[in-house]
Structure 1
């Protein structure tokens, strides 16, 4: 029986504080969906539809051919694809073989790709034809043996599949480049050809890895986070319980969060397959295309990142579209400004709530109740069977409500550890508590708040300043569309506060006006001393602002 926590009193009546977790492989949910809902549409991609039966059949075919190529349990298979049917099929096929999926960002350059392939020891990679030249350059210095190539046109309907190659002038050259390599295979051929070779790999969900998800983690360079089948199943089931009004087999999920990011993988792909949703797949975020897709397909669920919602509410064509089908959105990866939350809810009449997670947590740890009490500015309350506490800076004691320290978490979704990094694994755990690297506090009701990343905290003149607090104030200004606050070197104060601002279209707010606005809402030592107006902010593929890039730019300018 789960011990009663103060946040349990804030749970909606239909959300349990503890749930039963299935002791089965993650890929078994696709098989069950295909068996019980064979004719339900699983994927909709640029006009192409696939049923659950079709997705399962193609994943099974690919699984058989992967085994023929020598894949055995525990091998690593890299998947380097944008959101597409191939990304879903590849992921589940790899799991069926008993292999460990290595999700690889299609935007990686050779250096990043080489590091990930060497560290994971992947021998197989599934990628777009457009990405093959990068892979070819690093094959001889990594363990990669087999490359399976696909094209976006493989799953486009007529006439898009005919027109697509015309826009890819170098496509034929790339294809010729692979013709004489017997270890380069056609994805389309493998999934369309049935195989009699079946797999009955025995999976221990608690122990066997399903995924190596690379992250900077709480310290150091990119590391492979080891997530088991049980970790990923647990987090998807927790998400299902949190979104308590979901109707199995009836929801339409907008799949624009990248599947190669663990947030999109769990809250979009895994949850959709588990709950038999129809995924409306978009290969990248484009505000007009997102609005058009919600309007046309009557999307009900839209997990996203704050920058996505910001982009939508400031799109000039917004009024052309009906967004009232939206029922629920969980925002993650970065703080959700209250103004954005209120505006988006007014447009859709659905619910948009902020959550919190990290790759090491599969990833979701907390969220505001979707249909219940939420607190603006809070990351919400822990999900079922999840515990969160606030540790003192020296890691020796748990702090009471209201005091800022480092958040620590534990639960069935917390990682097994870092691949090939036992010492770093040990350094981020206190017993079974995972130290997150995020500074924050808990209020009297059990709601948690992020002050900022431990490493992002600005120390100016002896005062601790959390960038998020300053950003929240800047977002309240009617002329500010986006804001990012960083600490820059200062000969007197050690560090000082700099705000990078993107104005709303047509607005011309000045540095003096923002300074005056901040003085009304912040203590003097927190007010930005420097302002920089920009056309855009550097972001990850999921829309998280890359403050590291801003700091690098700053160091180059010194």
Structure 2
């Protein structure tokens, strides 16, 4: 069902020769048309069939951003098998966990990752490995898997339509291990129906069509590099362009935007900050760009203002969501941004949200702080092989996001922080986002993350990890004095640390648990006054 909409419907004569239109590109040098994507998908599907892949089987995907990634994913899901999209940044032990937990019996990988997975592969259920060598230099480690099959077993297979029925909407198609900010990863299980609904909801909201050219800049193993924006653009007959996975620079991004005349782009906040601080910003235009979507963490006000000034026709849209919650729950309407500067917007079409007391599970009224719950046709509803975690997170079709939030009377969502990130100090609840918003207004501060560290008197007290803008300096005392004028005494950070970068997961979310571990010792040190 999913594969058919992308690779077959667009080849029908009624679509006006759609097969010859560009479908996917990797930066400036590689492009497949819809016809080429369909042929390659069929070859891979028939090649996997020949290797014994059947409906329900799990097939691991350990690949960098590439055109082959799309064809492989579509081939796996066309057969009714389940694509297990693996984060290539993981260690061998972490990959072993994901492959074992999912029960993957086939692994398709780029040769560049063979040395990482080789020492642990025998301890997984994988019985067949297929290695792609797309760049002889980058993929030189392919020899580390001496028993692996070459990509030719897929490339040289029959290009005809696979002789298997299309999967049903309720059939599973993908497992993605959540790159959460706390705990051990869980496999969010998406069905064909979830995937199609999510693509349709975005297409309805953003009104993509055959003229849409979208640039994806994040890894394809994550929803932000695949299902977010890229999927609905392809479903609408548009052109999806992807950046390579490593060595990402503003120069390259802008060059690709100009080369393909991209109309849309997904950029993480950190990339936007680099672009808006780029030395060539005032000299290089992107005349066709009309929309930038971002997510992972709130975009800072100075960057929004600079985009508005430099590129006044570009719509800057902040999205919010999580993999198991349907990938995208809400988007901030640029026309209302000045009225709701730190909001993540209102729900996407067909999406419901509510605020719930995390202790009583009772729904709370507007403008009340509590846990954000979301429900839509794209909420996955299941963690692979984890019934207890499933029951805890998914309730009557609703997904408990774990985010503390409030919803205003006019429907705008404000994320206050994570339920587990809330700081309890002397009986008072302190929301890190409130402190971070104050720090974001300081001209010397690029971004910050506030965590709770142990305190012998108050149980916990705030600590701010700060990244400074280039050419600026601050002291711990200056930061605390700045906060003293803007925050209640119990809310202001008692400790300040300056860092070059904040730790993030693959989706760009700050890993506060790593900061808590690193700076927990500050609780026993003398506090700055």
Q: TM-score, normalised by structure 1?
A: 0.87
Partner of residue 93, structure 2: 111
1:263-320 CA distances to partner (integer Å, 9 max, x unpaired)? 3221133123212222221123322211222233322111232222122112223234
Equivalents in 1 of 2:39, 2:469: separation in Å? 48
CA distance in 1, matches of 2:500, 2:388: 42
How far apart in 2 are the matches of 1:273 and 1:326? 18
- C-alpha distance in structure 2 between counterparts of 1:272 and 1:151, whole Å: 28
Tell me how far apart the structure 2 counterparts of residues 196 and 139 of structure 1 sit (CA, whole Å). Answer: 33
User: In structure 1, how many angstroms separate the alpha carbons of the residues matched to 2:520 and 2:463?
Assistant: 13
Say if 1:539 and 1:188 are closer, same or farther in 2 by CA, change over 3 A: farther
2:239 aligned with 1:278 = yes
State the partner residue of 1:42. Answer: 23
Gaps of 5+ in 2: 525-529
Structure 1 segments of 4+ aligned residues over 6 angstroms from their partners: 371-374
Matches within 5 A, 1:208-357: 208-215=171-178, 220-244=183-207, 246=208, 248-284=209-245, 285-349=248-312, 350-357=314-321
Match of 2:377 among 412, 427, 431: 412
Greater relative contact order (Cα < 8 A, sep 6+)? 1
Hey, what does 2:394 align to over in structure 1?
Answer: 429
How far residue 372 of structure 1 moved from its aligned partner, in angstroms, is: 6.4
User: Does the residue aligned with 1:388 lie in a helix, a strand or coil?
Assistant: strand
Structure 1 counterpart SS, 2:272: helix
Instruction: Answer yes or no: is the 8 Å Cα contact 2:366–2:407 preserved in 1.
Output: yes
Consecutive unaligned residues in structure 1, runs of 5 or more: 1-23, 154-164
1:100 maps to 82
* Paired residues of 2:325 and 2:401 also in contact (CA < 8 A): no
**Structure 1's 535 and 513: CA in aligned 2 closer, same or farther, altered over 3 A?**
same
**1:291–1:318: 8 Å Cα contact kept in structure 2?**
no
- 2:107 is the counterpart of 1:139: no
Alignment of 1:533-552 (within 5 A): 533-552=498-517
Matched residue, 2:368: 403
Q: Does structure 2 conserve the Cα–Cα contact (< 8 Å) formed by 1:480 and 1:503?
A: yes
Give the 3-state SS of the residue equivalent to 2:235 in structure 1. helix
Asked if the contact 1:266–1:362 (Cα under 8 Å) also holds between the matched residues in 2, the reply is: no
The DSSP-based 3-state class of the residue aligned with 1:469 is helix
* Structure 1 residue 177, shift from structure 2 partner: 4.2
RMSD value, Cα = 2.1
* Partner-residue secondary structure (3-state), 1:521: coil
Q: Sort the Cα spacing of 1:400 and 1:251 in 2 relative to 1 into closer, same or farther, 3 A.
A: same
3-state SS of 1:149 partner: strand
Task: Report whether the alignment pairs 1:394 with 2:394.
Answer: no
Structure 1 residues 512, 188: CA separation in 2 closer, same or farther (over 3 Å shift)?
Answer: farther
Correspondence for 1:530: 495
Q: Deviations over 1:141-160 (max 9, x none)?
A: 1110111111343xxxxxxx
Distance 1:26 1:193 in 2: 18
Paired residue total: 514
Structure 1's 545 and 105: CA in aligned 2 closer, same or farther, altered over 3 A? Answer: same
1:12 aligned partner: none
Q: 1:467 aligns with which of 414, 421, 432?
A: 432
Instruction: Give the corresponding residue for 2:55.
Output: 73
Q: Distance in 2 between matches of 1:361 and 1:306?
A: 21
Query: What is the Cα deviation at residue 342 of structure 1?
Result: 2.3
Deviates more, 1:299-308 or 1:185-194: 185-194
SS in 2 for 1:318: coil
Return closer, same or farther for 1:279/1:396 CA change in 2, 3 Å cut-off.
closer
